A and B are shown apart, each in its own frame.
Chain A
Amino acid sequence: MTVSTTSTAPAAALGVLPRADGSAKYSHAGYTVTASVNGPIEAQRRDEHPYEAHVDVIVRPAAGVGGTRERHLESILQSSLSQIILVKNFPRSLIQIVLQVEDSPENDYVNTKLVQASLNFSIMPALFQTAVLALLSAGVPIRATATATAIAIVPQDGTKRSVVDPSPRDVEIAQSVHVLAFTSHDELLLAESEGDFTVKEWDDVYETAKDVCCRPVPTKEGMEMVLDDQHTNGPDLRHFLRSTMENKVASDLHWK
Chain B
Amino acid sequence: MTTTERPLVLPGDPISPDLIPSSTSKPLRLGPGLRHVPPSDIVPVVAGQLITNHQKNSMWVEYNNNRLKSSAPAQTSTSPPYPPTPPMTLPHLSFESATKKTRPQLAPGALVYARVVLANKHMDPEIECVSQSTGKSDGLGELKGGMVFDVSLQFARRLLMAKSKEEGKVEVLELLGGEGLVFEIAVGRNGKVWVGGEDVKTIVVVGRALRETDEGGLGVEAQRKLVRRLAKGMK
Task: Answer yes or no: do A and B interact.
Answer: yes
Q: How far, in angstroms, from A21 to B170 measured CA to CA in the complex?
A: 23
A141 to B63, CA, bound (A): 12
Interface residues of A, CB < 8 Å — how many?
39
Q: Known contacts A91-B122, A142-B11, A246-B8: does B45 contact A256 (CB below 8 Å)? A: no
Selected from B12, B83, B154, the residue in CB contact (under 8 A) with A41 is B83
| Contacts of A186-223 to chain B: CB distance below 8 A | none
Question: Do A141 and B65 have beta carbons less than 8 Å apart?
Answer: no
State whether the Cβ of A139 lies closer than 8 Å to any Cβ in chain B.
yes
Taking CB atoms and an 8 Å cut-off, the chain B residues in 60-95 that contact chain A are: 62-67, 69, 83-84, 86
State how many angstroms separate the Cβ of B87 from the closest Cβ of chain A.
8
Residues of B close to A86: CB separation below 8 A: 35, 45
If A41-B84, A139-B64, A255-B158 touch, does A241 touch B45 (CB 8 Å cutoff)?
no
- Distance A40 CA – B125 CA, assembled complex (angstroms): 14
**In the complex, which of the residues A40, A93, A141, A253 contacts B11, with contact meaning CB atoms closer than 8 Å?**
A141
* Bound Cα distance A185, B43 (Å): 12
**How would residues 228 to 256 of chain A score, 1 for a CB under 8 Å from any chain B CB and 0 otherwise?**
00000000000001100110110111111
CB of B219, distance to nearest CB on chain A (Å):
7
Q: Is A136 within 8 A of B83, CB to CB?
A: no
Contacts of A185 in B (CB 8 A): 12
In the complex, chain A residues 83-137 whose Cβ is within 8 Å of any chain B Cβ: 84, 86, 89-91, 93, 136
Cβ of A144 within 8 Å of any chain B Cβ, yes or no, is yes
Contact A141 B46 (CB under 8 A): yes
Q: Is B224 an interface residue (CB 8 A)?
A: no
> What's the least CB distance linking B144 to chain A, in Å?
28
Q: For residue A256, which residues in chain B have a CB less than 8 angstroms away from its CB?
A: 1, 6, 49, 62
- Complex contacts, A42 vs chain B, CB 8 Å: 84, 86
Q: A22-B65, A38-B83, A142-B45 are in contact. Are A136 and B8 (CB under 8 A)?
A: no
CA distance A112 to B196 in the complex (A): 60
Chain B interface, number of residues (Cβ within 8 angstroms): 34
Give the Cβ gap from A190 to chain B, nearest Cβ, in Å. Answer: 16
Instruction: Closest A residue to B10 by CB, please name it.
Output: A145
Q: How far is the CB of B1 from chain A (nearest CB, A)?
A: 8
Do residues B65 and A139 form an inter-chain contact, with CB atoms below 8 A?
yes
Q: Tell whether A78 is near chain B: CB-to-CB under 8 Å.
A: no
Give B175-206 as 1s and 0s: 1 = Cβ < 8 Å from A's Cβ atoms. Answer: 00000000000000000000000000000000
Distance from A85 Cβ to chain B, minimum over Cβ atoms (Å): 10
> A245 contacts B10, CB within 8 Å?
yes
Q: How far is the CB of B192 from chain A (nearest CB, A)?
A: 15
Residue among A20, A41, A145, A253 making CB contact with B49, cutoff 8 Å: A253
Q: Chain B nearest CB: distance from A35 CB in Å?
A: 15
Contact A255 B169 (CB under 8 A): yes
State which of A141, A143, A245 has its C-beta within 8 Å of the C-beta of B69: A141
Given the interface pairs A86-B35, A139-B46, A183-B12, the reply to whether A253 lies near B83 with Cβ below 8 Å is: no
Q: Please, which residue of chain B has its CB at the minimum distance from the CB of A22?
A: B65
In the complex, are the beta carbons of B12 and A144 less than 8 A apart?
yes
From B33, B83, B154, B158, name the one whose CB has the most chain A CB atoms within 10 angstroms: B83
Which residues from 3 to 41 on chain A have a C-beta closer than 8 Å to any C-beta of chain B? 19-22, 38-41
B13 CB within 8 Å of chain A:
yes
Contact B158 A89 (CB under 8 A): no
In the complex, A82 has a CB within 8 A of chain B = no
Q: Are B69 and A40 in contact (CB under 8 A)?
A: yes
Closest Cβ of chain B to A94, distance in Å, is: 10
Q: What are 30 A-B contacts defined by CB distance under 8 Å?
A: A21-B66, A21-B67, A21-B83, A39-B67, A86-B45, A89-B121, A136-B11, A138-B65, A139-B63, A139-B65, A140-B46, A141-B35, A142-B12, A143-B11, A143-B43, A144-B11, A144-B12, A184-B12, A245-B10, A249-B47, A249-B49, A253-B49, A253-B62, A253-B63, A253-B64, A253-B154, A255-B158, A255-B170, A255-B219, A256-B49
